[in-house]
Structure 1
Amino acid sequence: MRNLKNLTRVLLIMALIASCIFVQSPVINAESAAAAAVQCGDVNSDGSVDAIDFALLKSYILGKTTSINKEAAETNADSSVDAIDLANLQKFLLGTISKLPVVSNNKIVALTFDDGPDVTLTPLVLDKLDKYKVPATFMMIGQKLNDSTAPVVRRIINMGCEIGNHSWGYSSMSGMQAAEIKKSVSDTNAAILKYSGTTPKFFRAPNLSISSTMLSAIDLTFVNGVTCNDWVQSTSAQERANAIISGARDGAIFLMHDVQPLPHPTPEALDIIIPTLKNQGYEFVTLSQLFERKGVKLSPTDDKAYTYVP
């Protein structure tokens, strides 16, 4: 209710500013706009991005004024000032996205791998990532982080990959009480910090089983993903690759496993997935990079589990 009231207040302020825009906003001529350093979203070039910029951009799109800094108004850098730019600016002002411009690249995807680390199986995946020079995010099981797997963890970090939290064990957590959930996640966070020097930003629920108690108790952004049945031993590398490739689109998160009982041809599937999607124009990034590049602010309280971003 408080968020709804705050949103209503912001929209009311915007409406009031829009009604008096020609009185309050300065006229920007070509010379002054060119001389000023361009800040994305600062369409009146006054050094700040605020509701006045929103009102002025709306007025421009409605054809009521021509006096704006068009370069600053292009919030997605697509060489066109339109309603998409207005929507992006509104999201930025309301805190829904964290930065401008919103990168318009619609070919960004994130590989993620569950259930590691393992001294034998995880390096097979890392070898493929290294071969194709792509990063990934490894959602780790806390109880598998120890001195024996530490070298694998260090290699993951040194390759520019990211580590997420996949709970302390493998059991579903949806039937757990809040205290048990918090302990599982905090113990795993502590182990990840100890062996990688990083703190996780993302959580994936074991077996993708999520309860309202988990959403309240876990202070991390939840992710799911496009799956490929690679926890089923009978699925071939080609079948796994086909499932991932068919689910690929802008902002996709791919859910795979670096650790499963043998035979486990996910590393071989990467020999199909990565070149195929690269040829289709996709770029592989970590989860943090995916959210940042898409301009989506991490919010552990939004009660969402992302498969595509945004």
Structure 2
Amino acid sequence: MYSLKNILGIFLVIMLVVACTFVQTPMTNAESNAAAAILYGDANGDGNVDSLDLAALKSYLLGRGTLASMEAADTNVDAAVDSIDLANLKKFLLGQISLPVRTYDKIAALTFDDGPDTQLTPLVLDKLDKYKVPATFMMIGQKVNDSTKPVIDRIIRSGCEIGNHSWGYSSMTGMSAADIRKSVSDTNAAIQRYSGTTPKFFRAPNLAINNTMLSAIDLTFVNGVTCNDWIQSTTAQERANLIINGARDGAIFLMHDVQPLPHPTPEALDIIIPTLQKQGYEFVTLSQLFERKGVKLSPTDDKAYTYVP
């Protein structure tokens, strides 16, 4: 039979072993990050973001309740919980935005040339939908037809814009004014027929512009920061680096949704979009870019924009 002294000794040994086990098993990085993570929108602290959080946030704003986490309820990360956060939460529950919604201090426009194409254009649209950002697609008129209408419909549904990139991508610097006007007007007509929208912007084939074109085309000319994505050997990272290094407030980025394979521009967007968002950029369409910069569209402009001041 064990004495009380022996029992106490055994108990102390067990306690020391247990204590050492806890000391020697520190929290992993993943566990630490998980503990520190904020589930934006989870106003009631139940680990989910749903209509119950919307009700809790409404109640708080009416002065009738408290919130489990002010940080989680601050959906735009501006150190205040207000009606803007309520509106953001509603949009999130409708699938219109992701959380958090950060306040941006710079804007830029993604643009894509040489489509539409039933196989390649959707790869770019998938990335835009993933990050919930719009873009402007500069289309070749002869590619706008019955076969590409489903892609065009998706572009419009996604909140994107369509611009004019000429009828057949032939160099226009050697054309007569009449031929230039026909190329542009035929492309406009096709875009209007299949998208229900009227282009406001023109990008010249190969960015080659002369005075005849400036006089004949009644659209705003745009160029852009390029990334050599017409060169098949250019990697996604190289393309992304060129865009990111050329970024500044008001930038227009010129990429291609359609080029011969391999064409890793869609993969480059997985680098470009989150990187520039972290740097404070919001992505907008060309029309939104000019409107928010306060630059009026004028058919008499004698320049092509790469940056909108």
Alignment of structure 1 residues 105-254 onto 2, 5 Å: 106-254=105-253
Q: CA deviation at 1:224?
A: 0.1
For 2:89, the equivalent position in structure 1 comes to none
- Gaps of at least 5 residues in structure 1 are 1-104
What is the alpha-carbon distance in structure 2 between the residues aligned to residue 288 and residue 207 of structure 1? 22
CA shift at 1:106, angstroms? 4.7
Rounded to whole Å, the distance in 2 between the matches of 1:122 and 1:214 is 28
- 1:256 maps to 255
The two structures have a TM-score, normalised by structure 2, of 0.66
Deviations 1:53-76 (A, max 9, x none): xxxxxxxxxxxxxxxxxxxxxxxx
**Residues 262-273 of structure 1 correspond to what in structure 2 (within 5 A)?**
262-273=261-272
Query: 2: CA distance between counterparts of 1:175 and 1:229?
Result: 25
Structure-2 separation of matches of 1:170 and 1:302: 22
- CA deviation vs aligned residue, 1:23-79 (integer Å, no higher than 9, x gap): xxxxxxxxxxxxxxxxxxxxxxxxxxxxxxxxxxxxxxxxxxxxxxxxxxxxxxxxx
Residue of structure 2 equivalent to 1:65: none
Counterpart of 1:250, as a letter, is D
In structure 2, C-alpha distance between the alignment counterparts of 1:221 and 1:114, rounded to whole Å: 16
Query: Per-residue deviation at 1:184?
Result: 0.2
Residue 294 of structure 2 is aligned to residue 295 of structure 1: yes
Structure index of larger Rg: 2
Asked if the contact 1:204–1:223 (Cα under 8 Å) also holds between the matched residues in 2, the reply is: yes
**Number of corresponding residues:** 207
Higher mean Cα deviation, 167-176 or 154-163? 167-176
User: Is the alpha carbon distance of 1:183 and 1:130 closer, same or farther for their aligned partners in structure 2, counting shifts above 3 Å?
Assistant: same
2:279 match? 280
Question: 1:264-293 CA deviation, whole Å, 9 max, x = no partner?
Answer: 000000000000000111000000000000
Contact 2:223 2:305 (8 Å CA) reproduced: yes
Aligned-pair identity in percent equals 87
Query: In the TM superposition, what whole-angstrom CA distance separates every residue of 1:62-110 from its partner, at most 9, and x where no partner exists?
Result: xxxxxxxxxxxxxxxxxxxxxxxxxxxxxxxxxxxxxxxxxxx750000
In 1, Cα distance between equivalents of 2:301 and 2:178: 21
**1:115-171 residue CA offsets vs partner (Å, 9 max, x unmatched):** 000000000000000000000000000000110100000000000000000000111
Show the counterpart of 2:70: none
Are the aligned partners of 1:238 and 1:272 in contact in 2 as well (CA < 8 Å)?
A: yes
Tell me, in whole angstroms, the C-alpha distance in 2 between the residues paired with 1:173 and 1:271: 34
* Paired letter, 2:218: D
Unaligned runs of at least 5 residues, structure 2: 1-103
Amino acid at match of 1:153: I
Calculate the TM-score normalised by the size of structure 1.
0.66
Specify the alignment match of 2:47 in structure 1. none
Report the Cα distance in structure 1 between the residues aligned to 2:269 and 2:194, rounded to whole angstroms.
26
Partner of 1:150, secondary structure, is helix
SS in 2 for 1:308: coil
- Give the Cα separation in 2 of the matches to 1:226 and 1:172: 20
SS in 2 for 1:254: strand
Q: Is the 8 A contact 1:175 1:211 kept in 2?
A: no
- The answer (yes or no) to whether the contact 2:105–2:280 under 8 Å persists in 1 is no
Partner amino acid, structure 1, of 2:241:
N
Alignment-derived partner of residue 61 in structure 2:
none
Alignment partners' CA distance in 2, 1:171 and 1:179: 15
Structure 1 runs of 4+ with >4 Å offset: none
Aligned to 2:93: none
Q: Secondary structure at the residue paired with 1:288?
A: helix
Query: Aligned-pair distance for 1:172?
Result: 1.2
Whether the 8 Å contact between 2:108 and 2:283 is mirrored in structure 1 is yes
Q: Tell me the equivalent position of 1:37.
A: none
The one-letter code of the counterpart of 2:189 is A
| CA distance in structure 2 between the aligned counterparts of 1:213 and 1:257, rounded to whole angstroms | 26
The amino acid that maps onto 2:197 is: T
Q: 1:280 is matched by which residue type in structure 2? A: Q
Query: Could you tell me which amino acid in structure 1 is paired with residue 124 of structure 2?
Result: V
